[in-house]
């Protein structure tokens, strides 16, 4: 399965990974009928709290998620 992200999401992911120690697990919820970019979800590896990253790169904490590897 591939995950498509915008340039803004890529930038936010890079900043999140650097801030959180180097790597994150990336998740995406498929939007049925979506015609454009969708939000992606990332959890820093070793953490239980994740983030939503909007298509425009806006990063929002979403609280506890399934722990990343």
* pLDDT value at residue 20: 85
Cα distance between residue 69 and residue 60, in whole Å: 21
Distance separating alpha carbons of residues 19 and 21, to the nearest angstrom:
6
Q: Say which residue, 1 or 22, is predicted with more confidence.
A: 22
The pLDDT of 17-32, averaged and rounded, is: 80
The range of the structural domain enclosing residue 15 comes to: 7-64
Phi, psi of 19 (to 5 degrees): -65, -35
Domain total of the chain: 1
Flag whether 2 is in a domain. Answer: no
Answer whether residue 59 is part of any domain: yes
The answer to whether residue 36 is domain-embedded is yes
Choose between 44 and 33: higher pLDDT: 44
* Structure confidence at residue 30 (pLDDT): 62
- Give domain status of residue 1, yes or no: no
Give pLDDT, residue 13.
92
């Amino acid at each position: 399965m591939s995950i498509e992200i915008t340039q803004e999401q890529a930038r936010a992911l890079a900043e999140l990974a650097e801030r959180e120690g180097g790597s994150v697990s990336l998740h995406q919820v498929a939007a049925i009928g979506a015609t454009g970019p969708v939000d992606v979800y990332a959890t820093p590896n070793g953490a239980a709290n994740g983030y939503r990253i909007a298509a425009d790169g806006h990063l929002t904490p979403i609280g506890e998620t399934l722990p990343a590897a």
